[in-house]
Amino acid sequence: MRELATEQMNTSSPAISLILRGVRPYGEGDPVDVLIRDGVIAGIGGITEEADVVEGNGAVLLPGFVDLHTHLREPGREDTETIATGSAAAALGGYTAVFAMANTNPVADNEVVVQHVARRGREVGLVDVHPVGAVTVGLEGVKLAELGTMAKAGVRVFSDDGHCVHDPLIMRRALEYSRALGVVVAQHAEEPRLTVGAQAHEGEQASRLGLQGWPAAAEESIVARDCLLALHAGARLHVCHVSTTGTADVLRWAKARGTEVSAEVTPHHLLLTDDRLGTYDPVNKVNPPLRTAADVKVLREALAEGVIDCVATDHAPHAVQDKDCEWSAARPGMLGLQTALSIVVETMVNTGLLDWRGVARVMSERPAEIAGLPDQGRPIEVGEPANLTLVDPDASWTVRGAAFASIAANTPFEGMELPGAVVATLLRGRVTAVGGRIPA
């Protein structure tokens, strides 16, 4: 195992025992007691030992969630989020590992910045914070960053997210290096020549409102190109925030011909549509933009089917002045960590598209596999690391952005009543969130 991973393993909690009483692994069967000792699952059912207890009341026990796409804004924009506040939001959202995107200031395009992010994550200790390394220097798309040096420092995922690696030769080289290094390139698929000045999904709504369009083809053409390049390079490719029907079609086609491609969809693209644009409220501005109801339907089906592998939040905190302004000046992005599970329940579970095993797959197992995390997304079995999330499927709650752990409050779900709540999160047996609070 590489350096960073080993260090993170060493921060395991001290020897403590804990009983999760009356919980239902994967929401299946009758409630059982689960014993956690020394950071691992030590027993399931028939527990006679005495220990501290977390009351499950029949709640669903899942492997801890893994977010492949989080913007933590540190270094550079600590007025909107820090590694500490973002880690708290992640723990409260049921996450035990997050990947912190590289579009910080300075950019995480070198060993020093990625090591700083990893170190801060360890110090905070609420969630495993894995730094994403930039593919190109300064996210400028011109010169490859030192992928090898960052990989040696423990980086597993590389992305210029926020920007597309649009030059096909640079992308080809990045894929070739990623193969040699055993890491994965995550592409923000957006052909920049097709989205100059783009403000919203190119379609009826944007035309009616006079907003410059962001055509679906700008995403689909890059995904198609990169699937071909990945196959050619014998490399793995990960596609960030899939938002269109055409991208789902391209992924299905590419997978069928043996391309090692994985893909994520965000909670907001599973629920919201460009019908929201009518209010001109920039809280709905995001990149890629909210698409149509037809796209939402296809994205849900593709996720259920496995054509899209997993859910990733694209948690993107922004300051009030960057959101509470005219549409064209507003920054794209929305908070996601504390609402992701509930949006997945609303769009995938309550619609019958996924059962709780399916939720474990798309929120935890597949993202852990894609990033190559050996101790996350593991089955709920004796001997496995106790990275766990307890979910009350019958709870419902009202979203209040101001109440989130994040510094920013830009949630498009403000005021909505959502189903399902995270009861507790455990990182290597240590309770990192319980009852909506971070334990002291």
Where do contacts with Zn ion occur on this chain (CB under 5 A)?
A: 161, 188, 240
Mapped onto helix, strand or coil, the DSSP state of residue 209 is helix
Residues linked to residue 34 through DSSP beta bridges, in sequence order: 20, 44
Stretch that binds ligand DOR, among 4-12, 196-204, 325-333, 394-402 (CB under 6 A): 325-333
For 313, the token pair is: 């939040």
For 279, the token pair is: 């209010």
How near is the Cβ of 186 to ligand DOR at its closest, in Å?
A: 11
Shorter beta-carbon distance to ligand DOR: residue 325 or 382: 325
Q: Which position among 33, 314, 375, 392 bears the catalytic label?
A: 314
List, in order, residues 6 or more apart from 218 with CB less than 8 Å away: 189, 190, 191, 194, 195, 198
Stretch that binds ligand DOR, among 83-91, 129-137, 222-230, 330-338 (CB under 6 A): 330-338
Shorter beta-carbon distance to ligand DOR: residue 128 or 161: 161
Of 33, 81, 109, 161, the one binding ligand DOR by CB under 6 A:
161
List, in order, residues 6 or more apart from 169 with CB less than 8 Å away: none
Task: Specify the amino acid at residue 357.
Answer: R
CB atoms within 10 A of CB 178: 25
333 sits near ligand DOR (criterion: CB under 6 A):
yes
For 161, the token pair is: 């997210």
Site for ligand DOR in 235-294 (CB under 6 A): 286-287
Shorter beta-carbon distance to ligand DOR: residue 272 or 423: 272
CA-CA distances (angstroms) from residue 107 to 73, 111, 136? 10, 11, 10
How near is the Cβ of 337 to ligand DOR at its closest, in Å?
A: 14
Site for ligand DOR in 82-121 (CB under 6 A): 103
CA distance 433 to 421: 12
CB atoms within 10 A of CB 436: 14
Q: Which does 333 bind (CB under 5 to 8 A by kind): Zn ion, ligand DOR, none?
A: ligand DOR
List, in order, residues 6 or more apart from 119 with CB less than 8 Å away: none
Q: Which does 316 bind (CB under 5 to 8 A by kind): Zn ion, ligand DOR, none?
A: ligand DOR
Site for ligand DOR in 33-72 (CB under 6 A): 71
314 in Cβ contact with 321 (< 8 Å):
no
How near is the Cβ of 161 to Zn ion at its closest, in Å?
A: 4
How near is the Cβ of 424 to ligand DOR at its closest, in Å?
A: 29
CA distance 297 to 295: 5
Residues linked to residue 36 through DSSP beta bridges, in sequence order: 18, 41
Phi-psi region of 221 (alpha: psi -120 to 50; beta: other; left: phi over 0): alpha
Closest CA to 186 of 137, 230, 153: 230
Stretch that binds ligand DOR, among 4-12, 201-209, 249-257, 331-339 (CB under 6 A): 331-339
How near is the Cβ of 240 to Zn ion at its closest, in Å?
A: 5
How many chain residues interact with ligand DOR (CB under 6 A)?
A: 12
Binding mask 173-212 toward ligand DOR (x if CB under 6 A, else -) reads ---------------x------------------------
How near is the Cβ of 316 to ligand DOR at its closest, in Å?
A: 4
The 3 state secondary structure assigned to 237-301 is EEECCCCCHHHHHHHHHHHHCCCCEEEEECHHHHHCCHHHHHHCCHHHCCCCCCCCHHHHHHHHH
Stretch that binds ligand DOR, among 148-156, 223-231, 329-337, 385-393 (CB under 6 A): 329-337
160 sits near ligand DOR (criterion: CB under 6 A):
no
Active-site residue, 392 included: no
Stretch that binds ligand DOR, among 22-30, 118-126, 144-152, 326-334 (CB under 6 A): 326-334
Shorter beta-carbon distance to ligand DOR: residue 59 or 68: 68
Shorter beta-carbon distance to ligand DOR: residue 105 or 279: 105
φ/ψ (deg, to 5) at 232: -65, -40
Site for ligand DOR, rule CB under 6 A: 71, 103, 161-162, 188, 286-287, 314, 316, 331-333
Point out the residues that are catalytic: 314
